[in-house]
Amino acid sequence: MATPLTLKELSKKEELFTHGHRMCAGCGAPTIVKMVLLATEYPVVAANATGCLEVSTCISEYTAWKIPWIHTAFENAAATLSGVETMYRSLKKQGKIDKDVKFIAFGGDGGTYDIGFQSLSGAMERGHDMIYICYDNGAYMNTGIQRSSATPMGADTTTCPAGSCVPGKLRPRKNLTKIMAEHNIPYAAQASPSHWMDLMKKVRKAHELPGAKFLNVISPCNRGWRSKTNDAITLSRLAVNTCYWPLYEIEEGITKVTYTPKEKLPLLDFIKPQGRFKHLFEPGNEWLLKAMQEEVDREWAKLQAAEKCGC
């Protein structure tokens, strides 16, 4: 019997990702990992791409992971875990292991959308039984806030700095969740730590579906977003309620929005508290704010249309 997804019951479960890690105060990633592991009811092996989560959780003789965990390099968490999962299948087939084991890869957006894109695509296409979870904080935060293909339009980063000629990033984000769903995998979804029940249900559902699954989770980074350390959950909630980060799932190709905001808030509510967007409020950048809102509206409309048409 699975642990009910109530705070009372979940608080009694052992945390498999422990205190003592060295993630920044107010980082979204450790909260996400805790939620994912609390939702997981099976023995689980995790792989980690090089990045904030990895460098801060296993240092010299110290590890924050109470589960088997492997890190090899930046661009290959999916490939590495596909090897672990293949060995598991081989040993199971040969009768050398009998337990049901689940496999989860964690990678940031740089290691997932960009440098790890090929190995992720390969692992998804091969259909390894795993969930790949991207904690998307919208830039290469570990190396110091460099632009990635997940960086939102208009954001100021250290490699597309807002200057006198260029007002930050000019291109929209890559829609990785959709791209992963197009691999004909059983399940791809977006989640947010602000909506923990939704996130945990998605993890549970993904574990029960055989094959390769992809979960994209927004992960506020106060260093890169130039926001307050106690704002991670507030900001991820605003991301959802402005429809910048809609919560949805694509199961066997069928799109379902899992949470529709009662009132769709203007994008400004999400970007105003973040210093990475402050240059947008200077005279002359109004067009970019408009383009950003239009981009969110367009994507949200496309998502609703996809849900409506049952595709």
Partner 1 sequence: MAKVVAVTGNEAVANALRQVNPDVCGIYPITPQTDMMQRYASYISNGKVDTEAILVESEHSSMSACIGASAAGGRVVTATSSQGLALMWEMLHIASGDRLPIIMPVVNRALSAPLNIHGDHSDAMGCRDTGWIQIWSENGQEAYDNTIQAFRVGEHMDIRLPVMVCMDGFIISHSIERMEYLEDDEVKKFVGPFKNLFPLLDLEKPKSYGPLILTDLYHEYKKAQHEVMLKVKDVVLEVAKDFEKMSGRKYGLFETYRLEDADIAIVILNSAAGTTKDVVDELRDKGIKAGLLKPRLFRPFPYEEMAEALKNARAVCVMDRSDSFGGYGPLFMEVSSALYQLKNRPALINKIYGLGGRDYLPSHGEMVFNELAEIAAGGKIKAYKEYIGVRE
Write the CB contacts of 297 (distance below 8 Å, at least 6 apart in sequence).
243
Is 252 among the residues that bind partner 1 (CB under 8 A)? no
Is 101 among the residues that bind partner 1 (CB under 8 A)? yes
Span near partner 1 by CB under 8 A; candidates 81-89, 198-206, 250-258, 290-298: 81-89
* Minimum gap (Å) between residue 230 Cβ and partner 1: 27
Figure out which of the listed residues 31, 40, 76, 194 binds partner 1, where binding follows CB under 8 A. Answer: 76
Figure out which of the listed residues 10, 97, 233, 257 binds partner 1, where binding follows CB under 8 A. Answer: 97
Figure out which of the listed residues 90, 143, 158, 229 binds partner 1, where binding follows CB under 8 A. Answer: 90
- DSSP letter at 308? H
Cα–Cα dist 70/72, whole Å: 7
Q: Residues 169, 147: contact at Cβ < 8 Å?
A: yes
Cα–Cα dist 303/294, whole Å: 14
* Minimum gap (Å) between residue 156 Cβ and partner 1: 28
Dihedral, 145, 148, 150, 154 alpha carbons, nearest 10: 70
β-bridge partners, 96? none
Is 8 among the residues that bind partner 1 (CB under 8 A)? no
Q: Within positions 230 to 249, which residues make up the interface with partner 1, using CB under 8 A?
A: none
Is 67 among the residues that bind partner 1 (CB under 8 A)? yes
> What tokens were used for 295?
């981009």
Cα–Cα dist 185/120, whole Å: 12
- 3-state SS assignment for residue 10: helix
Q: Residues 192, 202: contact at Cβ < 8 Å?
A: no
* Minimum gap (Å) between residue 55 Cβ and partner 1: 5
Figure out which of the listed residues 17, 31, 75, 270 binds partner 1, where binding follows CB under 8 A. Answer: 75
Q: Residues 106, 49: contact at Cβ < 8 Å?
A: yes
Run of H or E including 182: none
Is 143 among the residues that bind partner 1 (CB under 8 A)? no
Run of H or E including 69: strand 69-71
- Cβ closest to partner 1, residue 111 vs residue 152: 111
Figure out which of the listed residues 33, 37, 45, 296 binds partner 1, where binding follows CB under 8 A. Answer: 45
* Minimum gap (Å) between residue 88 Cβ and partner 1: 6
Is 86 among the residues that bind partner 1 (CB under 8 A)? yes
List phi, psi (to 5°) of 296: -60, -45
Give residues in contact with partner 1 (CB under 8 A): 43, 45, 47-48, 54-55, 58-61, 63, 65-73, 75-76, 79-91, 93-94, 97, 99, 101, 118-119, 121-123, 125-126
